[in-house]
Amino acid sequence: MKLHREGTTIIGVGLLILGIIQLGNYYLLQAIEQEWLFYLISLAVIIFAILIIQFFRVPKRKYEIKENEIICPADGKVVVIEEVEETEYFKDKRIQVSIFMSPLNVHANFNPISGVIKFVKYHPGLFLVAWHPKSSTENERTTIVTEHKNGKEVLFRQIAGAVARRICYYVKEDQKVEAGTEFGFIKFGSRIDIFLPLGTEINVNIGDKVKAQITTLGKFK
């Protein structure tokens, strides 16, 4: 496991602030001689330090992707599987699969298929809770479309949540990508929507806990 580069500043500043709090906690103990309070604050400092560090973890995973598989781009829980009208790029019916990422999930995002990036667009926006129906169209988000060598396209959208305030993405149009490689990161709670061609075989169900690079969302037919 490694720590993501997006966390370098936040981890450093966070640990510095927690260190100052713990130092003040030590002097507080000397002043009021309440050991229980010292240990309580110390425990809280340790828990916050662990939470900050674990949020930016990127586990090393072994994965093997078959020809027509579409893999999960993020860790989290499947909250939507439905046929919808995709209005930004395709402007037609697609199968939407949405994955909610809690603050405890890995927040690095990975390419769901191999192919060529055909479309990238960042949208500033609101910070509604990630499960809100309008979060897909009104929250801060990034839309990316990749064309598979079979000619089929997959759209995936990073969506900021109520806590998330920054979406990071590292791909650009006409770039060739491999399934399972990293394309972005979302800081704190958020979700990803994936729009698949009608007729795609879906391999997950609502409520499933999924893992990026490992879980197969579906297969092209």
Contact 88, 143 (CB under 8 A): yes
Confidence of residue 8 (pLDDT cuts 50, 70, 90): confident
Over 70: is that where the pLDDT of 36 sits? Answer: yes
User: In this structure, how many other beta carbons lie within 10 angstroms of the beta carbon of residue 31?
Assistant: 7
190 in active site: yes
69-219, which class in CATH? mainly beta
CA–CA dist 109, 131 (Å, integer): 18
Of the candidate ranges 12-21, 52-61, 87-96, 130-139, the one whose mean pLDDT is the lowest? 130-139
Instruction: Give the number of C-alpha atoms closer than 13 A to the C-alpha of residue 167, restricted to the C-beta side.
Output: 26
The string of pLDDT tens digits covering residues 171-205 is: 999 999 999 999 999 876 688 999 999 999 999 99
Over 90: is that where the pLDDT of 209 sits? Answer: yes
Q: Give counts: helices (H), strands (E), the chain.
A: 3, 16
Say what the pTM is.
Answer: 0.83
> What mean pLDDT is predicted for residues 119-133?
72
Instruction: Give the model's pLDDT for residue 104.
Output: 84
Q: Where are the domains of the chain?
A: 2-58, 69-219
